[in-house]
Amino acid sequence: MSTFNLEIVTPTRILEEGDVSYVRCPGIDGSFGVMAGHREAVIGLDIGEIKVTQGGQDFFYATSGGFAEITNEKVQLLVETVEKSSEIDSNRAKESMQRTKDRITANPDVDMDRAEIALLRAVNRLRVSNR
C-alpha cells in the first residue's frame, strides 16, 4: 500500500508521524480522508477526531481545529491543539465538560458561543479518549 508523510503541527509541538497510509480529518464541511496521491489542497479543520492508519494499525487524536495542507510530498495538519487518545485524561475531560455545563446553567449572561465551543472540545476529548 502506498504511503505519504504526515506531520501534525501545533503552536507548542510538532508530531512527526512518518509514513502513513491513510488519515481522516474533521473538515469544517464534514470529515474527509487522504491517501497517497491525493490532490493538493488546503482544507479547514473543525473540532473532532483525527484517525491515522500506519502499518495497518489505527491511531486516534482529538483536535480543536486548524488547517490541513496536502501536497505531493506530505500532509501537514496545522492545528490549535492535538492529543493522542492514549494521552487524554478522561476524568479531566469529564470535569471540564461538567464545569462548562454548570457555568451555562448558573450564569444566564455567559458568552454562549464560547461556552458551546468549550463544551464541544470537552465532549470530543472524552469521546476520543475511549478509542
For residue range 72-83, list pLDDT tens digits in order. Answer: 889 999 999 999
- The C-alpha atoms of residue 19 and residue 1 are separated, in whole angstroms, by 11
pLDDT mean for each 10 residues of the chain (131 residues): 93 93 96 94 97 96 96 94 92 87 81 84 91 83
DSSP-assigned letters across all residues of 81-95: -EEEGGG--HHHHHH
What's the pLDDT score for residue 32? 97
As given in the structure block, the three cell numbers for residue 82 are 492535538
For residue 9, the model assigns a pLDDT of 96
Q: Pairing between strand 14-20 and 30-34?
A: unpaired
| Run of H or E residues at 34 | strand 30-34
Encode 20-33: b = buried (16+ Cβ within 10 Å), e = exposed. Answer: bbbbbbbeeeeebe
Q: What is the pTM of this model?
A: 0.87
Total residue length of the chain: 131
Query: Which helix H or strand E contains 12, and what residues bound it?
Result: none
Instruction: Domains for the chain: give ranges and CATH numbers.
Output: 4-85 (2.60.15.10), 88-129 (1.20.5)
Pick left, alpha or beta for residue 37 (phi over 0 → left; psi -120 to 50 → alpha; otherwise beta). left
pLDDT of residue 55: 93
